Amino acid sequence: MVLADKNETVRNGRRSRGPSPQNGNVQLESTSEEESPVPVDKIRVGRDFQATCPELQPEAQRRPEQLADRALLVWSPTEAIPDIKLENYIVLAKDKYGYNGEQALGMLFWHKHDLDRAMLDLANFTPFPDEWSVEDKVLFEQAFQFHGKSFYRIRQMVRIIRQASPNIL
């Protein structure tokens, strides 16, 4: 059985087995006078380092239009529509009008779960395509392999290739 030496030091009255990671990286202090010392992060304690929280507003005083960056609800399930009717509606929206499931449910929610009104309105809107064409996928994969995660360069490369080859679209 092999035992490793314990590298214990005393810091702030407590035993430590070496430097602890800070922000995911281990930082060692420099002991050489020639090297510049690496700053060690500290946990700051005291009133000067505390966050200030706003006062809690009662619900009656809250105004949603004043809140920044609110999410938009596009679907909320209901018990009023049987599952089989809901599935048939989604299939119709996908097959006949090119909607995806989320878009079809959003249309139904917009019409307050009224299937008849939602079905009539499906033809009035052109859904945004949710999938890329095969050519777009190939272009993106090639650009990704070439540029890695530099999406600015990927966008430039895909745009240049599309302009040079208009038959791709």
pLDDT reported for residue 121: 93
The predicted pLDDT at position 48 comes to 87
Tell me the torsion sign for CA atoms 56, 60, 61, 62.
positive
What local confidence, expressed as pLDDT, does residue 15 receive?
Answer: 54
The closest alpha carbon to 104, from 71, 85, 134, belongs to 85
Burial degree of 143 (CB within 10 A; 0-12, 13-18, 19+): buried
Angle (CA) 19-25-30 rounded to 5° is 55
What DSSP designation does 81 have? S
pTM for this model (two decimals): 0.41
In the numeric block, the tokens 């214990």 are attached to 8
> In the chain, how long is the greatest CA-to-CA distance?
81
Which phi and psi angles does 10 have, rounded to 5°?
-105, 125
**Going residue by residue through the chain (169 aa), what tens digit of pLDDT does each one get?**
444 444 445 555 555 555 555 544 444 444 444 555 556 678 888 888 888 888 888 888 877 776 666 677 888 899 999 999 999 999 999 999 988 899 999 999 999 999 999 999 999 987 776 567 788 788 888 888 988 888 888 888 776 655 555 544 3
